[in-house]
Chain A
Amino acid sequence: MTAQAAEEIAARDFASIVESHRPQIFRFLLASLRDVDLAETLTQECFLKAHRNWNSFRGDSSAMTWLMRIAINLQKDHWRNRRLQFWRHTQANAIGVDEASDWLPNGERSAEQQIAAREQVAQVWKAVDGLSARQRTVFLLRYVEDRELSEIAKTTGLSEGTVKAHLSRALARVRAELRGTR
């Protein structure tokens, strides 16, 4: 990205950045944590952090990649703190896999199709639940946020090869779950 582009990004109004990227950051955090309140809190923290460091954002990557990186780090910090505070109830507000799979858009599908879809979604959630934090992040960025591999690599700080390896393992797990071989 050129210096001019970076200046353009720096010149943007921060409010418009929040407006355009906030739903995606919230969605990613929600899918990662399955906790609406926590996702909301971390989204706010993410934009607060971004606002504080807005002047230091050089525009080497897109604003979305930068924000997503902040969100991933916040999520990591959160789990690290949770691990240290082991006496607290972890995932106190996180909803279960079955409850999360209740959410389906109102399509024109039949009742049977909706049940089958819900079942599949539950199985994917179950598979996602069994992934490592890094695999889950890569998986969600690819299949929920539709990010390119190069962008995922930039966001997570991993090489593209490592991203592919994580995706491959995550997909293998999803497939095994769907086929009932796990």
Chain B
Amino acid sequence: MSNRDKLAEEIEDPMVAGALKYFKASVNAWSEAAYTEPRTVVRIARHNWRLAATWALGCMLAAGSLAGGLYERHQRQELARIEASKAATKAAEQKVALERKAAEQPAAAKIVTRRQPTAVKKEANENEDLLATVDSDVSRQVPAAMEPLAQMMDSSGTN
């Protein structure tokens, strides 16, 4: 059934039509009465406490946000300060360690230089001993090895 048919059927329904007629008359009567009724201006009672509560809440929120922000900023600054202090301490310690190390190194070098002549002397002695050993070995072996040739030379010389 189309909308138009439905509409026609509803309007033809005497109960609906009657109710709609009464409804219209009722709205008209009410509207006329309200429209012609003399209007009095009434001062609107403002809910001051509501306004005050709203303001108070707003102020509290603003103050809370501000305080939170400041606290956060302070915390960060404090953290940064502690970090900087730690870093400075560490740097100072490293510096001290480096200085200590630097101070220890010349002493070690002095010891080395103080010991050097003895070591050189010892080394020279060792070298001399080694050369002496080599010389003695060579002087002992060479004649033994060359002996047959020397004998041959002698014999051919004699011949």
A residues contacting B by CB (< 8 A) are 23, 26-27, 30-31, 36, 39-40, 100-101, 103-105, 117, 120-121, 123-125, 143-144, 161, 164-165, 167-168, 171-172, 174-175, 178-179
Contact of B31 with A by CB under 8 A? yes
Q: Are A121 and B16 neighbours in the complex by a CB distance under 8 Å?
A: no
* Chain B residues, CB < 8 A from A125: 23
The reply to whether A120 and B19 contact each other, CB–CB distance below 8 Å, is: yes
A98 to B11 Cα, complex, angstroms: 24
Q: Give CA–CA (A36, B30) in the complex, Å.
A: 10
* Of A26, A120, A144, A161, the contact of B3 (CB 8 Å cutoff): A161
Check if B65 is an interface residue, CB within 8 A of chain A.
no
Q: Which residues of B contact A (CB under 8 A)?
A: 3-4, 6-7, 10-11, 13, 15-16, 18-20, 22-35, 39
**Quick one: given A103-B29, A174-B16, A178-B16, are A143 and B22 in contact (CB under 8 Å)?**
no
Q: Is the CB of B31 within 8 A of A23?
A: yes
The answer on a CB contact under 8 Å between B27 and A31 is yes
Contact B3 A168 (CB under 8 A): yes
Query: Which residues from chain A contact B24 at a C-beta distance below 8 Å?
Result: 143-144
Question: Using Cβ atoms and an 8 Å threshold, which residues of chain B touch A123?
Answer: 19
28 contacts between A and B (CB under 8 A): A23-B31, A23-B32, A23-B35, A26-B31, A26-B35, A30-B34, A36-B34, A40-B34, A100-B26, A100-B30, A103-B26, A103-B27, A104-B25, A104-B29, A105-B29, A120-B18, A120-B22, A121-B19, A121-B22, A123-B19, A125-B23, A144-B23, A161-B3, A171-B11, A172-B10, A175-B13, A178-B15, A178-B19
With A104-B25, A117-B22 in contact, do A171 and B30 touch (Cβ < 8 Å)?
A: no
A27 to B31, alpha carbons, bound, how many Å?
5
Q: Chain B contact residues: over half helix, strand or loop, or mixed? A: helix
List of B residues within 8 angstroms of A26 by Cβ? 31, 34-35
Given contacts A26-B34, A27-B28, A120-B22, 17 further A-B contacts (CB under 8 A): A27-B27, A27-B31, A30-B27, A30-B30, A30-B31, A40-B34, A40-B39, A100-B30, A104-B25, A104-B26, A120-B18, A121-B22, A143-B24, A144-B24, A161-B3, A172-B10, A175-B13
4 tightest Cβ-Cβ pairs between the two chains A and B: A103-B30, A27-B31, A171-B10, A120-B19
Name the residue of chain A whose CB is nearest to the CB of B42.
A37
Which of B3, B11, B15, B32: most chain A Cβ within 10 A?
A: B3
User: Could you tell me if B3 and A165 are in contact, using CB atoms closer than 8 angstroms?
Assistant: yes
Within 8 Å by CB of A174, from B20, B30, B32, lies B20
A120 CA to B14 CA, complexed, in Å: 12
